[in-house]
Amino acid sequence: MERLYKLAEASNIRFPDGVNPYQMATRLLEECGEVADQINHFEDSGLKRQKRGEPVRADFANELRQAITELIKLAAYYGLRDELEESIDKALKRVIDEGLIK
């Protein structure tokens, strides 16, 4: 998680006028659209492969990272770092207790 917060901090420095929740939400939606585009490409939906060739795993991973970074920026903006960590810990404990994972 620490590396994600560092990426979020760097993004805020690179794009200082985008450090407000509306800009972050807009950027998140844009990144989610690019994730959807990658899914279409991987699932061979439409003409993606004909136009762009075979999908590239690193490109898909990059789009996911960009979306995650925007989510982390929102958590940092609202000071939810501890609450997010606690929420993740609780959710992980719950699925372990339910026997879904070890």
Task: Give per-residue pLDDT as tens, 15-57.
Answer: 888 789 999 999 999 999 999 999 999 999 888 888 999 999 9
CATH number of the domain bearing residue 22: 1.10.287
Query: What would the mean pLDDT of 74-82 be, rounded to a whole number?
Result: 96
3-class secondary-structure state, position 95: helix
Residue 22 lies in a domain: yes
Per-residue confidence (pLDDT) for residue 86, from 0 to 100: 98
Put simply, whether the predicted model's pTM sits higher than 0.85 gets the answer yes
User: Whose structure tokens read 């004909």?
Assistant: 50
- Give the range of the structural domain holding residue 29, as residue numbers without chain letter: 2-97
Number of domains in the chain: 1
DSSP 43: T
| Residues 6 or more apart in contact with residue 74 via CB below 8 angstroms | 21, 24, 25, 28, 80
60 lies in some domain: yes
Return the pLDDT at 50.
Answer: 87
Q: Is residue 102 part of a domain?
A: no
Percent of the chain with pLDDT over 70: 100
How many whole angstroms separate alpha carbon 77 and alpha carbon 84?
Answer: 12
